[in-house]
Amino acid sequence: MLVRDIMRSPVITISPGTTLQDAYRIMQEKGIRHLPVLEQDQLAGIVTDRDLRLATSALSASPFPPGGRVSEVMCRAPLTADPMDPVEDAARTMREQKIGCLPVMDDARLAGIITGIDLLDALMRMTGVDKPSGRLEVRLPDYPGELARLTAFMSHRGLNVHSILTYPEGPGSVRAVLRIGSIEVRMIAQDLRRSEFEVLWPPEKPCPR
């Protein structure tokens, strides 16, 4: 999945001369928290609802009046993404830099914007949780062929795999999280255990005494 697949476009923008009051009103009316600032069709900066609140707060050492200009409080030269960037690269940038959005630039043109909410929506799509499905989590030895053995298990039982996410869990194992086209996950988990897979979810029910 690429940034172009999840970005919001067209983008609501403002100019550097927009007042803080008007910028906040636009955010409230449009239900957004980030506004790219364009000057002569070029990205000049970005302002967030947090920037506006901090700038006008009575707790600030020198609060700006509501009629102050966005150019006085905006973040200049913001980090950006390219439409062809992988979503995970954009997520890493936002997490490492602790920012809530990335304007998306196609050459020198503002093509879109992505936010943390867009990344959460992308995660839901990538994991298949947005469609009816069952969830399985399996710990696999970290060597070639184990994931293929797991998918072959599903294929032999006529189970459609909507998504697979894997991540390392130490030096010798990986976790595989699957979304499959069945809600009978406990029965499938029992079959997996009988085939010597280590199933982490769903947990094995204790035998009644």
**Domains: count for the chain:** 2
Q: 115 and 157 share a domain?
A: no
Is 206 part of any domain? Answer: no
pLDDT digits (tens, 9 = 90+) for 93-113: 999 999 999 999 999 999 999
Q: What is the value of pTM for the model shown?
A: 0.84
Consecutive sets of 10 residues in the chain, 209 residues long: mean pLDDT of each?
Answer: 97 98 97 97 97 93 94 96 97 97 96 97 89 94 96 96 93 96 95 97 75
Q: 136 and 72 share a domain?
A: no
- Residues 6 or more apart in contact with residue 103 via CB below 8 angstroms: 11, 36, 43, 46, 78, 80, 81, 110, 112, 113
Q: 38 and 118 share a domain?
A: yes
**Pair 149, 137: CB distance under 8 Å:** no
Instruction: Report the pLDDT value the prediction gives residue 209, as an integer from 0 to 100.
Output: 54
**Pair 154, 104: CB distance under 8 Å:** no
Q: 112 and 178 share a domain?
A: no
Instruction: Tell me the CATH number at 188.
Output: 3.30.70.260
pLDDT digits (tens, 9 = 90+) for 115-142: 999 999 999 998 888 888 999 999 999 9
Instruction: Tell me the CATH number at 18.
Output: 3.10.580.10
Instruction: Report the pLDDT value the prediction gives residue 207, as an integer from 0 to 100.
Output: 52
Is 207 part of any domain? Answer: no
Last residue of a domain, one of 123, 157, 176: 123
Is 151 part of any domain? Answer: yes
Output the 3-class SS for the chain. Answer: CEHHHHCECCCCCECCCCEHHHHHHHHHHHCCCEEEEEECCEEEEEEEHHHHHHHHCCCCCCCCCCCCEHHHCCEECCCCECCCCEHHHHHHHHHHHCCCEEEEEECCEEEEEEEHHHHHHHHHHHHCCCCCCEEEEEEEECCCCHHHHHHHHHHHCCCCEEEEEEEECCCCEEEEEEEECCCCHHHHHHHHHHCCCEEEECCCCCCCC
Measure the CA–CA gap between 131 and 127, rounded to whole angstroms.
Answer: 10
Is 45 part of any domain? Answer: yes
Q: 15 and 117 share a domain?
A: yes
Q: 40 and 95 share a domain?
A: yes
Question: Quick count: other Cβ atoms within 10 Å of Cβ 72?
Answer: 11
Instruction: Report the pLDDT value the prediction gives residue 128, as an integer from 0 to 100.
Output: 85
Instruction: Report the pLDDT value the prediction gives residue 67, as an integer from 0 to 100.
Output: 96
Is 163 part of any domain? Answer: yes
Q: 113 and 167 share a domain?
A: no
Instruction: Report the pLDDT value the prediction gives residue 129, as an integer from 0 to 100.
Output: 87
Q: 53 and 155 share a domain?
A: no
Q: 29 and 110 share a domain?
A: yes
Instruction: Report the pLDDT value the prediction gives residue 170, as an integer from 0 to 100.
Output: 86
**Pair 67, 38: CB distance under 8 Å:** no
Q: 179 and 104 share a domain?
A: no
Q: 31 and 117 share a domain?
A: yes
Q: 19 and 106 share a domain?
A: yes
The domain containing residue 86 runs over which residues? Answer: 3-123
